[in-house]
Amino acid sequence: MAWKDRLVEASFRGVPFKVEEESAGTGRRVETHEYPNRDKPYTEDLGKVTFRPS
């Protein structure tokens, strides 16, 4: 596969351009707690995940 085949469409503030596919782990860290005799779990927000470009 040539490098040109890996290009994908992107835009920033309305300006179109092409970039190679990239992924980065982004999002939130969460922990879901489940307790006996309770119907609803509790999800605790632990903040942002560490940025890890790949």
38 domain-assigned: yes
Is residue 36 in some structural domain?
A: yes
Flag whether 49 is in a domain: yes
Alpha-carbon distance 30 to 13, whole Å? 31
Q: Total structural domains in the chain? A: 1
Q: What is the mean pLDDT of residues 27-53?
A: 90
Does 34 reside within a domain?
yes
Backbone angles phi, psi at 9, to 5 degrees: -70, 140
When pLDDT is averaged across residues 38-45 and rounded to a whole number, the result is 94
Q: How far apart, in whole angstroms, are the C-alpha atoms of residue 43 and residue 34?
A: 9
Note down the domain range covering 50. 23-54
Residue with token string 């632990």: 46
Structural domain contains residue 37:
yes
pLDDT one-digit tens code per residue, 10-37: 888 999 998 887 666 678 899 999 999 9
Kindly state whether residue 42 falls inside one of the protein's structural domains.
yes
Beta strands in the chain (DSSP E): 7-12, 15-20, 24-25, 28-33, 42-48, 52-53
